[in-house]
Amino acid sequence: MEAGFGSTPFGNARGRAARRYMLGNDRLKAAVTDYGGVLVSLEAPDRDGQLAHVVLGFDDVAGYVDNRGSFGALLGRTANRIANGRFTIDGAPYELSKNEGANTLHGGVAGFGKRFWSVKEASAVHLTLALTTADGDQGFPGEVAVEATWRLDGTDLSLLFTAETTKPTPLSLSAHPYFNLDGPAARDCLDHEVQIFADAYLPTDKQQIPTGEIRPVSETPFDLRRPQPIGARIRESDAQLLYGRGYDHYFVLHEHQAATPRPAARVRSATSGRVLEILTTQPGVQFYTGNNLDGSAPGRGGLYRQSAGFAFEPQGFPNAPNQPNFPSTVLRPGEAYRQETVYRLTCG
């Protein structure tokens, strides 16, 4: 298929023209680009019915090419970090491209968020993107074919991933939209109330690699089981908050696996009245409070500085190929990968 429903030019990336695909219903408006599968924009009403952008973004594809931070991008082959850019599967060692010091982040130098995806289907309310990466791409084994479908349904924006592989390979797909429920003019998201339905989280070392421990959230700043402002405990003297410069940690959900999306997190803005609920089939979510945004990214409404937005990245356990006590993220030939996340936007 060529240009899909409501598609428009979106500038040039890496010598190729990108397109932006518009989706909409009577509640939400969204836009996705074929470069990186990026969620460029998402507009939702406040308590007065006024639409505003609730994800951080740029008005041209160059913003996504030039800036770090994975703004809105699809993440793969593995979201998050792989220690030392290496792992072993079935006794065979693999070396990956490294793009965060000695480690591999979000799939390497040319992860899925830095690729052009082909448009397989498009309509007013859904967009299916496809990407096939070769055996050995970024050092990962096996040819992997992925489809990602963004879909609007009432107050829900869902993202469904399916995939298959020709060799055993780690696969943990996610997306990285930054949210601010008060719109582009908001300074930060620290007064948003957050709740995460997790009794445990994964502590990390100084390089933000999980140590292998699954630690209870009780009596820590990571106990977000009851609603509280994002900024309530983010400045506490806690080694984990120091390593991440705020929240940048994986929260383990009550049910490790789910056949259909179940609640993972809820965020509410008292200012706008908007409520974001995250539902997912994944075993956990990475919660990130934009700690490394440094003002070098001029987006909608001004410069994006620390805590301009927050991100929830549902995914498999980070660095799982190197942690035998974590649930495996290895996909094998003949197996079907299927994971779904729902972003539900209401008012309350």
- Catalytic residues, by residue number, are 176, 313
Which residues make Cβ contacts (< 8 Å) with residue 311, sequence separation at least 6? 176, 177, 178, 179, 286, 287, 288, 290
- Encode burial over 109-139: b for 16+ CB neighbours within 10 A, e otherwise: eebbbbbbbebeebeebbbbbbbebeeebbb
Is the four-CA dihedral 273, 276, 277, 283 of positive or negative sign? negative
Greatest Cα pair distance, the chain, in angstroms, is 59
Q: Give the separation between CA 335 and CA 144, rounded to whole angstroms.
A: 12
> What residues pair up with 46 in beta bridges, in sequence order?
none
| Closest by CA position to 251, among listed 134, 80, 96 | 80
What radius of gyration, in Å, describes the C-alpha atoms of the chain?
19
What is the CA angle 342-34-171, rounded to 5?
A: 55
Between CA 193 and CA 347 the distance in angstroms is 13
Tokens of 182: 């008060």
Q: How many CB atoms lie within 10 A of CB 344?
A: 18
